[in-house]
């Protein structure tokens, strides 16, 4: 049986509702940039990553997995700082945003502008079928038409290997500036890609030359894979559930998509602390101008005004099992269909 989506929360909202109406319900204080708080984020992440590297260096072998998890989670804070810079919510200065964004995303080998332009597209078209570029499920007919190897790959990324899904997205999307519109956008993406390529060409040989291949794996690669676990997990949880529809362009409503198509998920507090509350995602989709250190304040206000339309969950392995077992293929009338159901019908 295909999964039926309860449309009530979305349809209960007036189709005339505009995103600006929700934004206007927020006080100006949640949009205020605070230089001290912004740079405290930077300090917190640098200290946390440094502590993680020290733990890797001195921990006995049986504690290394814990050190890798801590360090990789702290490295996710680097991404969140770059994320704020990309949305221009870190600083009032564009140059500061670009410089800090490039530096912190360089540590993750992420091209700043390539990611920035692609991510902004996601915000403009959240859960719009065939347009959104973040974890959009395939249609059954597209899956059926795909070659076998690609079907297997998609099954893995939508199943138990979801935590690796951000790796192909990173490798295939953000480096190829030819995929971006000609002009300033393409030039920006090319610049960021070259910064990362040249940076990696310098950093990796230096690391391997000084600490060896195992040192490179131990101090950078394994924490980096933990970062990708969080990158994949945060992003799939933000917009994927049996009760979150992907809507055709003609029926799509921006306000409803951003308010009811976005998930607030509670993680262990140490994860939220190291990742600068990136899990508080509903206000971020209401307005990307809200700095990460204001997200909790904004969420409480949005919840007070629009609480019945907000989706809140708690991170559990059971929740991840539910998403990866059920949310596979999507069709507007039938909603989500599992791979097993597709195979039974074909």
pLDDT of 206 reads 97
Structure confidence at residue 242 (pLDDT): 86
pLDDT tier for residue 283 given thresholds of 50, 70 and 90: very high
What is the pLDDT at residue 13? Answer: 66
Model confidence pLDDT, tens digit, residues 215-234: 999 999 999 999 999 999 99
pLDDT for the residue numbered 33: 96
Query: 9-49, pLDDT tens digit by residue?
Result: 444 566 677 899 899 999 999 999 999 999 999 999 999 99
The pLDDT of residue 28 is 94
Residues sharing a CB contact under 8 Å with residue 220, sequence separation 6 or more, in sequence order: 207
What's the mean per-residue pLDDT of the chain?
92
Query: Residue 264 is inside which H or E element, if any?
Result: strand 263-266
At residue 1, does pLDDT exceed 50?
A: no
Average pLDDT, stretch 110-119? 94
Could you read off the pLDDT of 51-65 as tens digits, one per residue?
A: 999 999 999 999 999
Q: What is the pLDDT of residue 12?
A: 57
Buried b (16+ CB within 10 A) or exposed e, 195-215: bbeeeeeeeeeebeeeeeeeb
Q: What pLDDT shows up at residue 190?
A: 96
| Average confidence (pLDDT) over 119-126 | 92
Distance separating alpha carbons of residues 113 and 190, to the nearest angstrom: 8
Q: What is the pLDDT of residue 17?
A: 79
Q: How many Å apart are CA 321 and CA 46, to the nearest integer?
A: 33
Q: What is the pLDDT of residue 135?
A: 87
pTM for the complete prediction? 0.92
Taking the C-alpha atoms of residue 186 and residue 320, their distance in angstroms, rounded to an integer, is 36
DSSP H stretches of helix in the chain:
8-11, 19-23, 35-58, 64-86, 94-106, 112-124, 140-145, 148-158, 166-173, 184-216, 222-239, 254-260, 269-274, 282-286, 295-306, 317-326, 339-345
Residue 266 phi/psi, 5-degree rounding, is -90, 125
Nearest in space to 11 (alpha carbons), one of 333, 240, 285, 253? 253
Q: How many residues does the chain have?
A: 346
């Amino acid at each position: 049986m295909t999964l039926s989506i309860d449309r009530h929360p979305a349809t209960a909202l007036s189709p005339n509702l505009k995103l600006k109406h929700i934004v206007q319900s927020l006080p100006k204080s949640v949009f205020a940039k605070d230089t001290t708080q912004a740079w405290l984020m930077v300090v917190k992440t640098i200290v946390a990553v440094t502590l993680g590297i020290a733990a890797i260096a001195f921990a006995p072998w049986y504690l290394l997995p814990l050190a890798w998890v801590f360090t990789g989670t702290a490295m996710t804070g680097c991404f969140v700082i770059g994320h704020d810079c990309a949305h221009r919510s870190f600083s009032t200065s564009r140059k500061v945003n670009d410089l800090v964004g490039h530096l912190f995303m360089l540590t993750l080998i992420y091209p700043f502008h390539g990611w920035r332009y692609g991510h902004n597209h996601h915000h403009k078209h959240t859960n719009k079928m065939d347009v959104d570029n973040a974890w959009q499920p395939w249609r059954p007919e597209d899956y059926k038409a795909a070659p076998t190897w690609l079907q297997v790959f998609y099954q893995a990324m939508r199943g138990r290997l979801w935590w690796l899904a951000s790796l192909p997205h990173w490798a295939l999307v953000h480096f190829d500036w030819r995929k971006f519109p000609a002009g300033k956008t393409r030039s920006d993406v090319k610049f960021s890609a070259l910064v990362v390529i040249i940076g990696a060409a310098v950093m990796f040989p230096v690391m391997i030359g000084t600490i060896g291949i195992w040192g490179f794996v131990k101090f950078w690669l394994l924490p980096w894979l933990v970062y990708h676990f969080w990158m994949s997990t945060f992003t799939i949880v933000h917009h994927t559930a049996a009760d979150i529809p992907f809507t055709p362009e003609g029926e799509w409503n921006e306000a409803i998509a951003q308010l009811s198509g976005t998930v607030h998920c509670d993680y262990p507090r140490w994860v939220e602390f190291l990742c600068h509350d990136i899990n508080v995602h509903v206000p971020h989709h209401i307005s990307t101008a809200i700095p990460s250190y204001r997200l909790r304040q904004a969420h409480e206000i949005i919840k007070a005004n629009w609480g019945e339309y907000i989706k809140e969950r708690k991170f559990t392995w059971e929740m991840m099992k539910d998403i990866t077992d059920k949310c596979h293929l999507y069709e507007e009338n039938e909603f989500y269909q599992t791979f097993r159901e597709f195979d039974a019908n074909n």
